[in-house]
Amino acid sequence: MRLTAFSDVSLRILMLLSGLDGQKVSTQTIAEGVGTPYNHVAKSVAFLVNMGLLESTRGRTGGVLLSDAGRVATIGQVLRATEGGVAMVECEGGSTDCPMRHACSLRGVLAHAREEFFKLLDPVVISQLPNEKQMGPVFVELGLGPLGGARSLPSAA
């Protein structure tokens, strides 16, 4: 199973913001931090705000930060929301010319596999993933390093 770009960006946003300990940042800064075009990040940010995982404030002093729900969000939870409706095979969406579509059990097997994939990721809390070795250079590049107020992250094992 390959994640959609939308899911990938959404997870990267949550990881980046989890290292900032309540510091508000602009969507542009997030885009630079996750290495993704602004419009893709803006779409993911809006989705994550709608899910309640991010808080967003408009205006000159505005920005985006991780909500309390975002601090405990799991990979499984986010992927169910971002990937849940994505068909794994063409016939899952109902429209196909496949002659086996009426008696095919592939859809059910793949749907079960997808759910097992999500279940495996349910216990993994996204905010526990970033570490200093991984995020430190990103924060420094964005001016959010130790001088910018970023919290101390766990060391890489």
| DSSP state string for 34-91 | HT--HHHHHHHHHHHHHHTSEEEE-STT-EEEE-HHHHT-BHHHHHHHHHTT--SSGG
For residue 74, is it within any domain?
yes
**CA–CA separation, 66 and 13 (whole Å):** 9
For residue 54, is it within any domain?
yes
What percentage of the chain carries pLDDT values higher than 90?
44
For residue 60, is it within any domain?
yes
Please tell me the predicted confidence (pLDDT) of residue 128. 86
Block residue for tokens 């990881």: 15
Please tell me the predicted confidence (pLDDT) of residue 72. 96
For residue 93, is it within any domain?
yes
Indicate the number of domains in the chain: 1
For residue 157, is it within any domain?
no
147 pLDDT exceeds 70?
A: no
User: Could you tell me the pLDDT band of residue 136, with boundaries at 50, 70 and 90?
Assistant: low
Residue 141 is part of a domain; what is its CATH number?
1.10.10.10
Closest CA to 78 of 44, 102, 103: 44
CB atoms closer than 10 angstroms to residue 135: 22
Q: Domain containing 139: what range?
A: 5-147
User: Could you tell me the pLDDT band of residue 130, with boundaries at 50, 70 and 90?
Assistant: confident
| Average pLDDT of the residues in 32-59 | 94
For residue 156, is it within any domain?
no
For residue 154, is it within any domain?
no
For residue 130, is it within any domain?
yes
Amino acid identity for residue 21 in this structure: D
Please tell me the predicted confidence (pLDDT) of residue 118. 92
**CA–CA separation, 141 and 134 (whole Å):** 12
pTM score, whole prediction:
0.79
